[in-house]
Amino acid sequence: MVLLSACSKFEEINVNPNNPAIVPAEMLLPPIISAAVGSMNGSGSRAGQYVQHLSWLGGTSEEDGRYNLTGASYREEWNGPMRLIKDVNQLKNIAVTNGLPQYEAIGSIMKVYILSLMSDAYGDIPYAEAGMGNVSGLEFAHFQSQQEVYGLMLQELEAANQQLKNLPAGTVISRDILFNGDASRWRKFANGLKLRILMRESAKVNVNAPVAAIFNNPAEYPIFENVAQQAVLTYNNSTDFYTWYIQNPPADGSGVDFAANSRVSNVMVDLLKSKNDPRLAIYAAPTKNSFTANKANPAVPLVYRGQRAGLSTAEQNADYTTTGLNKDDYSVIGKRIRKENRAFLMTYAELMLLKAEAIQRGMGVNGTAAAAYLDGIKASFDKWNAGSGVQADAPFISDAQKTAYFDQAGVALSADNPIKQIAEQLWMDSFLNGFEGWAGWRRLQFPQLAVGPSVLSPIPVRYVYSDNEQNNPNLIQWVNETMDGKMPTHNVKVWFQP
């Protein structure tokens, strides 16, 4: 009887203190941030290909490069972020239960960041019920229109802004790998995301008042004030790697992957060349053939050449025959990026360029569009300061290069087509953030993109719901009720597009 009595308390004493039943809120923060940024990084090779930051060699990756796409093409792009929202929900629930408003606010910001990427890509998505498949009765989330989702995201960001504004003195944010526990920068990130979403929907909704309120009232709506404050995740490149980082650089000294299937697009290279833009040597590497020739004879100039998008194998081979070029005469991603350990979630350059657009469009924002535009370009250059201090090792943009660029005629904002200039700068600054570049192109319709003559469809304007999600009865019902029963393809515009 004594033995049985002791066993009745077995569950009370057999608790592993290293495996708690409830995870502390701060322990959830690093994997949420890292995985969210991973989703953004992954967009560089797909959405970034659609918007022609990158192009694939002719015939390579036929499914993506020539737009032969189905729901199976997007399976993990849908499943990964939606799984991550479960962790975000858990973070918020723990924060509410334990009276930790700082983690509740950060959870809200990360939820908006993740689901804004999803909505920009897919259009209508679940928002209120996202990540709740483990809750009885919510195994199949209900979908909401992109317009409604945008409204809910703006509300959630406003609530987070107020929570962070009113945090008690001495509040601590632990294990914050994005802003190192700085609540003010989280607040600025929230308001920056709010501006991004407002400008995204500006073709469909009058957003003048809320946009002006944020830009004109920094006490109530602080935003990033310089490059040092922007949202950048710095990876530990001994255990956790930036997507584009080369762990084992090649022996040829190039620092790049000449064997990659991707090339920097001709649109990007030509646009940078047109203004002698110093970002060219950051984004792109000299072609393999020119690098090899220059290494043997330094008098031979280095060549930067972009790859046209959407060519078939036959078209690419025909181009080689006509031009006398081959695959090693096109630029791959540059050495500086291949040595990088930073991923850019939101840049100060983006905010300044959005400000320039808002002023140009008469939204009531203080300042001049021309000044904000130049500030945006300067901020984009400042992302690529010295680093190691050695151009040959990790190219950077020097002060002399900046001066030479801004001294050129035609660099300042012009009265001829200022929105085109602003859109192109947003597109260039977002290099390898495919989601942002793609969304900006769909909204502003610049830069002008062209594809091969025999692509299988126009440039995609949305991701297709994954094949697994297409079995969700609530998605089927939503499509029947709002889309005439036709599951949207990658050529059906999302709501925010003009």
With H, G, I as helix, E, B as strand and everything else as coil, classify residue 297: coil
Place of tokens 């967009």: 43
**DSSP 3-state of 385:** coil
Angle among Cα 32, 82, 190 to the nearest 5 degrees reads 50
Q: Which domain, by its residues, includes 126?
A: 25-243+345-384+398-429+436-482
Tokens of 126: 């679940």
Q: From first to last of the 498 residues of the chain, give the pLDDT tens digit.
A: 344 444 444 344 444 555 555 789 999 999 999 999 999 999 999 999 999 999 999 876 677 888 888 888 888 899 999 999 999 999 999 999 999 999 999 999 999 999 999 999 999 999 999 999 888 888 899 999 999 999 999 999 999 999 999 999 999 999 999 999 999 999 999 999 999 999 999 999 999 999 999 999 999 999 999 999 999 999 998 889 999 999 989 999 999 999 999 999 999 999 999 999 999 999 999 999 999 999 999 999 999 999 999 999 899 999 999 999 999 999 999 999 999 999 999 999 999 999 999 999 999 999 999 999 999 999 999 999 987 678 888 899 999 999 999 999 999 999 999 999 999 999 999 999 999 999 999 999 999 999 889 988 899 999 999 999 999 999 999 999 999 999 999 999 999 999
- d(CA 304, CA 287) in angstroms, rounded, equals 6
69 touches 458 (CB < 8 A): no
In a domain, 411, yes or no: yes
Residue 301 lies in a domain: no
Which residue bears the tokens 């334990």?
Answer: 98
Local structure of residue 231 (DSSP, 8 states): E
Kindly compute the dihedral angle of the four CA atoms of residues 375, 405, 419, 414, in this order, to the nearest 10 degrees.
Answer: 100
The angle at the Cα of 410, spanning 333 to 415, to the nearest 5 degrees, equals 115
Buried b (16+ CB within 10 A) or exposed e, 311-336: bbeebbeebeeeeeeebebbbbbbbb
Least Cα distance to 60 among 377, 444, 327, 418 occurs for: 327
Residue 18 is predicted with a pLDDT of: 53
- Rounded-to-integer distance, Cα 295 and Cα 299, Å: 9
- For residue 272, being part of any structural domain is answered with no
- Give Cβ neighbours of residue 2 (< 8 Å, ≥ 6 apart): none
What's the CATH code of the domain at 87? Answer: 1.25.40.390
Asked whether residue 488 is assigned to any structural domain, the reply reads no
- How remote is the C-alpha of 462 from its chain's centroid? 15
Does residue 332 form part of some domain? Answer: no
Pair of tokens at residue 138:
């919510």
pTM: 0.94
Q: How far apart are CA 209 and CA 317, in angstroms?
A: 54
Quick one: pLDDT at residue 390?
83
Q: Please say whether the beta carbons of 339 and 246 come within 8 A.
A: yes
CA distance 165 to 111: 19
CA atoms of 424 and 437, how far apart (whole Å) = 10
pLDDT at 73: 85
The owner of tokens 């304007």 is 461
In a domain, 287, yes or no: no
Euclidean distance between CA atoms 387 and 393, whole angstroms: 10
The answer to whether 377 and 449 have CB atoms below 8 angstroms apart is: no
Q: Say what the pLDDT of residue 2 is.
A: 43
Q: How many domains does the chain have?
A: 1
- Choose among 140, 159, 142, 141: nearest CA to 151: 159
